[in-house]
């Protein structure tokens, strides 16, 4: 269903506001990233993805009872 003229105007206004806010939001994201790296330089919760060819079962994967 096509947009009505008032809907198109509203959409254009919203898109222009988002476009004007984008640089400021990028700065906020960049500052947050820098602060998080200063506060906790190591991410202890990060577990790299294991490539399919290098998969080896972990002890929890070999449990005789599923869900343990």
Read out DSSP for 20-49? HHHHHHHHHHHHHHHHHHHH-SS-TT--PP
pLDDT mean over 51-63? 63
Residue 22 pLDDT class (50, 70, 90 cuts)? very high
Residue 53 pLDDT class (50, 70, 90 cuts)? low
pLDDT of residue 64 exceeding 70:
no
pLDDT of residue 13 exceeding 70:
yes
Q: Of the candidates 52, 36, 10, which has an alpha carbon nearest to the alpha carbon of residue 18?
A: 10
* Average pLDDT of the residues of the chain: 83
């Amino acid at each position: 269903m096509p947009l009505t003229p008032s809907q198109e105007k509203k959409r254009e206004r919203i898109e222009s506001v988002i476009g004007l806010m984008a640089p400021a939001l990028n700065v906020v994201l960049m500052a947050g990233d820098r602060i998080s790296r200063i506060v906790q330089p190591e991410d202890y919760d990060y577990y790299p993805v294991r490539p399919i060819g290098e998969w080896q079962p972990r002890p929890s994967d070999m449990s005789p009872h599923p869900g343990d």
